[in-house]
């Protein structure tokens, strides 16, 4: 079934004037009927101008009750997974913050503990080693 100019305008959401200009410039091929009006083949029209969105959505089949139940189950699963992702991201951010704080503490402690200089080490080496004497004797030694 071929479109008239008005039907073609409704099918593409374009004005009749714009379609008429497209026919005159040769962008769309159309034939004139005995009454003098244009007849446009739908395939030719939609080759250049896509069909309007409302028609595409109307032609899609509606889901059956089992399919609708499956869709609802999948939506619930997606929501649960999104919630889990947000929770994991929060935990990750908290662990990053904790890692940053602990790293700062460790680097601060390393800066405070300096290795002893040679002057500080000499008195410790020069001191005589004291040995503790036992007050009991082991077999008369």
Q: How many residues does the chain have?
A: 141
Report the Cα 124 to chain-centroid distance in Å.
Answer: 63
Residues of the chain with pLDDT under 70: 53-60, 114-141
State the Cα–Cα distance between residues 11 and 42, nearest whole angstrom. 9
Q: What pLDDT score was predicted for residue 59?
A: 61
Q: What pLDDT is attached to residue 33?
A: 87
Do 51 and 11 form a contact (C-beta atoms < 8 A)? yes
Domain boundaries, the chain: 5-59, 62-107
């Amino acid at each position: 079934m071929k479109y008239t100019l008005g039907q073609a305008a409704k099918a593409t959401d374009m004005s009749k004037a714009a379609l008429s200009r497209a026919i005159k410039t040769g962008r769309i091929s159309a034939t004139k009927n005995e009454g003098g009006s244009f007849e446009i083949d739908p395939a030719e029209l939609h080759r250049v101008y896509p069909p309007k969105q409302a028609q595409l959505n109307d032609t899609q089949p509606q889901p059956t009750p089992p399919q609708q139940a499956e869709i609802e189950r999948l939506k619930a699963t997606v929501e649960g997974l999104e919630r889990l992702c947000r929770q994991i991201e929060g935990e990750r951010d908290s662990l990053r913050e904790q890692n940053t704080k602990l790293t700062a503490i460790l680097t601060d402690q390393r800066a405070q503990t300096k290795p002893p200089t040679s002057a500080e080490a000499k008195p410790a080496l020069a001191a005589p080693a004291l040995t503790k004497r036992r007050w009991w004797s082991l077999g008369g030694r």
